[in-house]
A = this chain, B = another copy of it.
């Protein structure tokens, strides 16, 4: 058996991995960059919420600094992203999916689905951005369409369902997840 020197199994031998932008950068990171881009251009004000943490113990070594020394992650009761765009409240969750064939519904908390249902009911634009990481495809799914699937008997949604019922967000360079283009089209009836 040949022992490769470390790093020799380079991924650059696999050409299709170059076909879409910024592979390896997480969806969260790309969305933060995209939201920052929208903010700089004054197109929308959309932020990721901080990770909810239960703080138990804080050290104050001096007046200026506080160090949290004991804290725990909490289950989020809302979605991760929200803000305002063209006079409407925007609310969404983003998920990466490593399967090529289906999206497991267990990867979205039931609180988050309930939250999406509620905000839509009150007039927000609610959706989920789902990236099939191995396919390099990122879809925007309307929250109510996803909820309908989540209320069904199945535990996952086939990839093909997304092809027919969700909107593919084109892979672009900057911003890398230009989801407002899709929002313009489906919620404001504009041509892409």
Residues in A lying within 8 Å of B, measured CB to CB? 39, 42, 44-45, 47, 49-53, 55, 65-74, 77-78, 82-91, 115, 118-119, 121-124
Contact = CB atoms under 8 A, between A and B. Distances in A.
Nearest to A82: B82
Contact of A68 (B72, B78, B85): B72
A89 B124 contact: yes
Contact of A39 (B118, B123, B124): B118
A66 B68 CA distance: 14
A42 to B, nearest CB: 7
Contacts of A67: 70-72
A127 B159 CA distance: 43
Nearest to A44: B122
A33 to B, nearest CB: 15
